């Protein structure tokens, strides 16, 4: 009697990486492989029963002529994300190690556009694009034009914040002491407010000097992260527009430091920082 057929599923190979402490599971999805399901993303991201990460990054075939690859971003809760600066550097390092390029400069396609990448002695620099301050572009509802700060009354609290899009929406709250920043309370209040129809990454920033700031970020779909590349760009752009910091600044996050530059208002923001391999593995499906 013939044995019954059994379904065979291949193990899923992955790389665990981090950029300044913002950690990822990287999957090779080139060749039209199906994207990971929300259920798989949640299982991989679980820090007790999975691999553990802030986001899952999928390496995919390039979308634009001249790009070496594209990538997509999936949050720990399974939702899709639009932008991730630390993830972009990790994807760049992964592709260089994989042999996709050995050029000192190349192009990657993210969910929101194409980004020039430069290899550095101690990491990678990514051109993140120009910040968008128009409320409709963030998107931020309830305001007819850019303001700084925006002010909301939420549950009896008055919250002032800056807002910008770096391909994804960001709110920024200045604090005197970053260690006492109210991430767990104010972060969700702003994320869930109706003025942010797509939610927002909420940053809390302390200005130490014109060349150095400290930042913590409460990220959409994740919670507090050890680093947020697009959040560092957003914080720097808002503070530069306020005239509080120089046009090139070190951003100190709980997991490490990033270098953000925005030479002038009509130029793109660039972000430089490390990309680190942690380990390789197989996920048994």
Task: List residues forming the annotated binding site for substrate.
Answer: 22, 55, 75, 85-86, 168, 201, 219-220, 229-230
Letter string b/e over residues 113-146, b meaning 16 or more CB atoms within 10 A of that residue's CB: ebbebbbeeebbbbbbbbbbbebeebbbeebeeb
Residue 50 near residue 34 (C-beta atoms within 8 A):
no
Find the catalytic residue in 84, 90, 195, 233.
84
Q: What's the rounded Cα separation, in Å, for the pair 131 and 259? A: 16
Catalytic residue among 41, 53, 228, 233: 228
Residue 169: φ, ψ to 5°: -80, 140
Beta carbons within 8 Å of 254's beta carbon, 6+ residues apart: 21, 216, 226, 227
Q: What angle do CA 225, 228, 232 make, to 5 degrees?
A: 135
Distance CA(27)–CA(144), nearest Å, equals: 42
Could you tell me if 75 and 38 are in contact, meaning their C-beta atoms sit under 8 angstroms apart? no
Angle, CA of 202, 173 and 195, to the nearest 5°: 60
Return binding residues: 22, 55, 75, 85-86, 168, 201, 219-220, 229-230
For helices 85-98 and 229-242, give the axis angle rounded to 10 degrees. Answer: 130
228 catalytic per annotation: yes
Q: Catalytic residues, which ones?
A: 84, 228
């Amino acid at each position: 009697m013939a044995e019954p057929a059994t379904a065979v599923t291949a193990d899923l190979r992955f790389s665990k990486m981090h950029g300044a402490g913002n950690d990822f599971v990287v999957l090779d999805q080139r060749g039209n492989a199906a994207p990971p399901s929300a259920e798989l993303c949640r299982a991989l991201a679980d820090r007790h029963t999975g691999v553990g990460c802030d986001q899952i990054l999928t390496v995919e075939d390039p979308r634009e002529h001249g790009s070496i690859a594209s990538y997509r971003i999936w949050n720990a809760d399974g939702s899709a994300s639009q932008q991730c600066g630390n993830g972009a550097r990790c994807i760049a390092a992964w592709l260089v190690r994989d042999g996709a390029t050995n050029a000192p400069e190349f192009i990657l396609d993210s969910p929101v556009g194409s980004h020039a990448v430069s290899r550095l002695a101690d990491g990678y620099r990514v051109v993140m694009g120009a910040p968008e301050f128009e409320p409709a572009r963030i998107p931020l509802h309830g305001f007819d034009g850019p303001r700084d700060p925006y002010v909301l009354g939420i549950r009896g609290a008055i919250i002032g914040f800056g807002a910008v899009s770096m391909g994804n929406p960001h709110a920024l709250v200045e604090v005197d002491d970053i260690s006492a920043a109210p991430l767990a309370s104010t972060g969700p209040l702003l994320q869930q407010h109706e003025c942010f129809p797509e939610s927002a990454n909420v940053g809390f920033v302390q200005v130490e000097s014109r060349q150095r700031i400290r930042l913590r970020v409460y990220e959409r779909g994740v919670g507090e992260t050890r680093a947020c590349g697009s959040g560092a760009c957003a914080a720097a752009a808002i503070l530069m527009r306020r005239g509080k910091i120089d046009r090139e600044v070190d951003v100190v996050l709980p997991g490490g430091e990033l270098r953000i530059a925005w030479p002038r208002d009509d130029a793109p923001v660039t972000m430089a920082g490390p990309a680190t391999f942690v380990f390789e593995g197989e996920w048994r499906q």
